[in-house]
């Protein structure tokens, strides 16, 4: 079968499209013919050598996608050949065939395409737990979303709006500012335009109820625009590590700092199915819209990686086998 591979760490140019043996499935696995594969920064980090990789070259990036079941392991129940399945956190996804553990297989309902399912598994589920678990957004809340034009950011904006919140977005360019506005943000400010002052002015100096902080280096600015008894949800550090937080500041202002990681929530098959089904239902109801920025052939994976690293994308990037 064909797969996107790399033998050494480096830039997008180390990726190549080659032939590798088809995976053999265990009794608790299904063999999936991929139809759409999600591209994420974690794939870039693996390609660069920032993440630990097991085994020997050729390495195959990717761990999110959707496709059709081609074979079923002996102990698998409830899944049949021909079923449409999505998955996340499954290695070697940048290939025509992927062995998916039964517990990580998510059935795709009617009305949801392969492309939508592959786009939702990581970014959509991340936004979901952040909105419903890390901080329970409610009607009337004022929510600040960093990187509001990104994949997770746009889902956060849409889910918050569906819950009745007022949403402020932050972006790095006017083009991305428009994307965040199109996602439903009530107000969008640019990072380079004194955004803390503008957020406080917009909230009449009261501050926001919750900040979804994914930049890292801006965490103290996030606290500055958070109201007394408000919350900062830290879930990423796209621009670098945050500074250390003085607990006395949290005590003095009665503010809360919390963190989140998707894998602490997708801890069982039941959790994956329940959360995925709820997310698919939000799409079908129109509460959130899947924004696919662009698609590339799997054979053009190096171009897709370069585009993702350019930070020009305003939505999901998919690889199509």
Rounded to whole angstroms, what are the CA distances from 307 to 40, 151, 280, 318?
11, 14, 28, 11
In the predicted structure, residue 312 carries a pLDDT above the cut 90: no
3-class DSSP state of 198: helix
Integer Cα distance of 142 and 28 in angstroms: 45
Most confident of 111-115, 290-294, 314-318: 111-115
Mean pLDDT, residues 202-215: 97
- What would the pLDDT profile of 257-267 be if each residue is shown by its tens digit? 999 999 999 99
Mean pLDDT, residues 67-73: 98
Give the per-residue pLDDT at 315.
84
Give the per-residue pLDDT at 237.
85
Q: Kindly state the tokens that stand for 197.
A: 């002052």
Range list for CATH 3.40.50.720 in the chain = 124-263
- Which CATH code for domain 124-263? 3.40.50.720
What residues pair up with 66 in beta bridges, in sequence order? 36, 86
Mean pLDDT, residues 283-306: 95
For the chain, what's the residue count?
321
DSSP 200-220: HHHTTTS-EEEEEE-SSTTHH
Give the per-residue pLDDT at 30.
98
In the predicted structure, residue 219 carries a pLDDT above the cut 90: yes
Superfamily of domain 2-121+291-320: Medium-chain alcohol dehydrogenases, catalytic domain (3.90.180.10)
3-state secondary structure 141-159: CEEEECCCCCHHHHHHHHH
In the predicted structure, residue 143 carries a pLDDT above the cut 90: yes
CB atoms within 10 A of CB 185: 29
Beta-strand runs (E) in 185-291: 187-190, 208-213, 226-234, 256-259
In the predicted structure, residue 54 carries a pLDDT above the cut 80: no
Helix (H) or strand (E) holding 221: helix 219-224
Integer Cα distance of 277 and 115 in angstroms: 16
Mean pLDDT, residues 74-82: 96
How buried is 279 (Cβ within 10 angstroms: 0-12 exposed, 13-18 middle, 19+ buried)? buried
Nearest alpha carbon to residue 46 among 63, 29, 32 = 63
Nearest alpha carbon to residue 82 among 93, 68, 95, 66 = 68
Range list for CATH 3.90.180.10 in the chain = 2-121+291-320
In the predicted structure, residue 56 carries a pLDDT above the cut 80: yes
pLDDT band for position 14 (50/70/90)?
A: very high
Give the per-residue pLDDT at 284.
95
In the predicted structure, residue 52 carries a pLDDT above the cut 80: no
Give the per-residue pLDDT at 258.
97
Decide: 296 and 313 in contact? Cβ < 8 Å: no
Integer Cα distance of 201 and 182 in angstroms: 23
């Amino acid at each position: 079968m064909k797969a996107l591979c790399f033998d050494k760490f480096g830039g997008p140019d180390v990726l190549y499209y080659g032939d590798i043996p088809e995976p053999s499935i265990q009794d608790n696995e299904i063999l999936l013919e991929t139809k759409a594969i999600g591209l994420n920064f974690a794939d870039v980090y693996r390609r660069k050598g920032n993440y630990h990789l097991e085994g020997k070259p050729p390495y195959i990036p990717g761990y999110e996608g959707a496709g059709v079941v081609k074979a079923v392991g002996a102990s698998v129940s409830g899944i049949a050949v021909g079923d449409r399945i999505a998955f996340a956190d499954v290695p070697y996804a940048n290939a025509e065939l992927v062995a998916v553990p039964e517990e990580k297989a998510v059935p795709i309902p009617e009305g949801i395409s392969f492309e939508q399912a592959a786009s939702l598994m990581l970014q959509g589920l991340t936004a979901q737990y952040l909105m419903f678990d890390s901080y329970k957004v409610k009607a009337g809340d004022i929510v600040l979303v960093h990187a509001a034009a990104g994949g997770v950011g746009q889902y956060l904006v849409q889910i918050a709006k569906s819950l009745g919140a007022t949403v402020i977005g932050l972006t790095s360019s006017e083009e991305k500012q428009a994307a965040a506005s199109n996602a439903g943000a009530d107000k969008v400010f640019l990072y380079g335009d004194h955004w803390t002052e503008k957020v406080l002015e917009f909230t009449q100096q009261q501050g926001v109820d919750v900040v979804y902080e994914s930049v890292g280096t801006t965490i103290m600015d996030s606290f500055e625009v958070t109201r007394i008894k408000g919350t900062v949800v830290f879930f990423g550090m796209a621009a670098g590590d945050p500074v250390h937080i003085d607990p006395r500041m949290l005590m003095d202002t009665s503010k809360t700092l919390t963190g989140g990681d998707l894998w602490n929530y997708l801890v069982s098959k039941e959790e994956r199915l329940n959360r995925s089904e709820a997310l698919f239902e939000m799409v079908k109801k129109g509460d959130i819209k899947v924004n696919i920025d662009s698609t590339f052939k799997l054979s053009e994976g190096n171009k897709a990686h370069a585009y993702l690293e350019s930070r020009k994308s305003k939505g999901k990037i998919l690889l199509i086998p």
